[in-house]
Amino acid sequence: MFIIFLLIGISVTVAGCFLGAFLWAVRSGQYDDDYTPAVRMLFENEPGKAAANKPVKSEPAKA
């Protein structure tokens, strides 16, 4: 039955890690804006497109 103590210890630790990750995410501002990132991820990475049309080298988009 000792195994249950071990398992619960592990499960609480894992849950604690998730709590830590959540707090870190809030702290780093990920919950401040819940709209823009959803739009941003849909933008095409157009350096590839630009290279296909024109042989101009442009900086890769950092967005």
Partner 1 sequence: MEAALQTNIQTCYHCGDTCKEEPIVAHDKTFCCDGCKAVYELLEENNLCTYYNLDENPGISSKQPVVEARFAYLDDAGVEAQLINFRNDSICKLTFYIPQMHCSSCIWLLENLFKLNPGVAESTVNFLRKEVSLTYFHQKTTLREVVQLLARIGYEPAITLADTDGKKTTKQSRTIIYKLGVAGFAFGNVMLLAFPDYLAVTEGLQRTFGSFFGYLSILLSLPVFFYSARGFFTSAIEGIRQRMVNIDLPIATGLLALFCVSFYEIISGNGPGYLDSFTGLVFFMLIGKYFQQKTYDTLSFDRDYTSYFPVSIAVLKENGEEESVAVRNLKVGNRIRIRNQELIPADTLLLRGTAMIDYSFVSGESEPVEKVVGEVIYAGGRQVGESVELEVVKEVSQGYLTQLWNDSVFSKNEEQSVATYANVAGKWFIIVTLFVAAGSLFYWVPRDMDMAMKAFTSVLIIACPCALSLATPFVHGHTLRVFGKNKFYLKNTSVVETLAKIDTVVFDKTGTLTEPNAAEVTYTGKALLPEQEKAILSVLRHSTHPLSQRISQNLKGEAAEVQNFQEFAGKGLAGEVNGQMVRVGSASYLGVPTDKVKDALKTTVYVSLDGVVLGYYTFFNVYRDGLKDILSDLNDKKIAVLSGDNNHEEARLKELLGEGAELSFNQSPVQKLEYIQGLKEHHHQVLMVGDGLNDAGALKQSDAGIALTNSVTNFSPSCDAILDATAFGKLSKFLAFSKKTMKIILATFAVSLVYNVIGLSLAVQGLFSPIASAILMPISSLSVIIFATLSVKIAAKRAGL
Footprint on this chain of partner 1 (rule: CB under 8 A): 1, 4-5, 8, 11-12, 15-16, 18-19, 22-23, 26-27, 31-36, 39-40, 42-44, 46, 50, 54, 56, 58-59, 61-63
**What's the closest the beta carbon of residue 50 comes to partner 1, in angstroms?**
6
Q: How far apart are CA 17 and CA 5, in angstroms?
A: 18
**What's the closest the beta carbon of residue 36 comes to partner 1, in angstroms?**
4
Half-sphere exposure of 57 (CA within 13 A, CB side): 0
Do residues 16 and 22 touch, judged by C-beta distance below 8 A?
no
